[in-house]
Amino acid sequence: MKCPPWPEGQKLVHLDLKGAPPRVDYLHKLIELFSELGAEGLLVEYEDMFPYEGELQLLQGTAPPTYSRQEILSLQEFARSKSMEVVPLVQTFGHMEFVLKHRPLWGLRELPHCVGTLNPHREEGLKLVMEMLRQVVELHPGVNTLHIGADEVYMLGEGEESKLWLASPGRTVEQLFLSHVTKVAKAIKEAWPHLNIIMWDDMMRGMNQDTLKESGLVGLVQPMLWDYTPDLDVDSTVSLLEKYHTAGLSQLWAASSFKGSTCVHTCVPGTMRHVENHEQWLKVAAALPAGVHLRGIALTGWQRYDHLSVLCELMPLALPSLGACLQTLVQGQLSAEAQIRVCERLGVSSVEVTDLDRTPEEDSLFPGRRLAELIIDLNQLLNSDDIRFFENSMAVRGWFSPYQRQRRAVTPLITMTIHSQASAYLTTLQQKVEAVKEEMVRLYPECTAQEWIEEHVSPVMAPLQRITEDVLACVKEMVP
């Protein structure tokens, strides 16, 4: 069923740079494509890819290396040339892993074993956050909007200082959360009165209207309600938005997903799952009562679930999904016409990346297409039954079991056949891996390519390598 197109309001594409920061020339090509597909801005999450200076220099990444100050300015200048606003996202409470993992800052954790949550009672913590924000704002001349994160503040209230604070009558974990966020928001407004402040909404979902009204956040922040599921509950979401509005938090945003929300280790995204998520958001927008509206939507594309988790889908594989999701918002549904528009712009025959036609590189029309094709091809081989279950094949289980290997009681003729099969698979995999790596390092730092290979390829190749080595060791003792 067709919904009205997305109402007036910005469509921001989320650039999550942790772990797989595109090389700057590739980043420019991506931004140009985002604009052509219908995006009007970028929500940029730098984490350790931002060139922090002074006492914060320890936050800079080394593998991958941090963007330079000139590269950050170049990103903004190029986005402005495409009439796209840049909204920086800096975490200020939860998901502070990239900050609190550093030994000199361990004392600012809420709990020693919870790397992501900032202790809200330490004045040094607030100073740290404000210095991070100051450096980011100053390197974004003309910035109008800032996102302060504040989602998934795990284990809040469990630290010793929090327990002492909560021991006073009437105090709650909700108030503890609101107290810190209010301090941050007020400090931002004092330093930069013109800035709009967005924050994730999830920590406020269970709060009642009175708690929100009395929080001090009214007039300071704009909640961004996120839900990435294809079966998003429209009625509950509308009710939640109404609650925020009634509480005085009337400047509201939505956040959907075009990649990075299916599973923590997903390699190749499925477009229709993400399109369905956007169809549900269109239903939400259409069902809002008069007076309640959304300022915009951020199409999130997570690179990792958090700073210390594995890589999700790389951007080239998600561009068909992004195009389909943006056109779903623009058209009100992913109609045949909308699909044709996306396919023509990207030079593909389907919005599902797994259905890419294999074409010569010079015919590829979207940036990173060659890498997407190579990863899909390699991924199919990695997940083939012949390779995944090689150790469970009849030959291996019947003539080269762990028992037989240990006792060197093997049939040389059959085990050499096993060796030949495993070696052939290894050679094919290695050839495909080299092609993926060669292409990936054109678009990403070499350490990103190395991580991707170690995560997705090495666990599959290791058993084959062990078998080939064991076969040779066994046969050596049985053949003159």
DSSP helix/strand/coil, 119 = coil
Q: Which residues contact 130 (CB under 8 A, 6 or more apart)?
A: 184, 187, 188, 191
Could you tell me the CA-to-CA distances from 354 to 24, 158, 178, 452 in Å, in that order? Answer: 27, 45, 44, 19
Residue 197: CA count within 13 A, CB half-sphere: 27
The per-residue DSSP string of 422-441 comes to HHHHHHHHHHHHHHHHHHHH
Q: One of 40, 152, 158, 242 is an active-site residue; which one?
A: 152
211 alpha-carbon distance from chain centroid = 31
Q: Residue 122's beta-bridge partner residues?
A: none
Let me know how long the chain is: 480
Q: Tally Cβ neighbours within 10 Å of residue 468.
A: 18
Residue of 374, 369, 260 whose CA lies nearest to 19 = 260
Q: Tally Cβ neighbours within 10 Å of residue 227.
A: 21
Residue 257: CA count within 13 A, CB half-sphere: 24
Judge contact between 107 and 159, C-beta under 8 A: no
Q: Which amino acid is at 387?
A: I
SS3 labels along 165-187: HHCCCCCCHHHHHHHHHHHHHHH
Residue of 201, 230, 233, 199 whose CA lies nearest to 328 = 230
Query: What's the angle, vertex CA 268, arms to CA 267 and CA 271, rounded to 5?
Result: 145
Residue 260 CA to residue 268 CA, distance in Å, equals 10
Look-up: residue for tokens 């109404």? Answer: 242
The per-residue DSSP string of 222-258 comes to EEEEE---TT--HHHHHHHHHHHHHTT---EEEEEEE
Judge contact between 378 and 432, C-beta under 8 A: yes
Residue 152 a catalytic site member = yes
Judge contact between 38 and 327, C-beta under 8 A: yes
Q: Which residues are catalytic?
A: 152
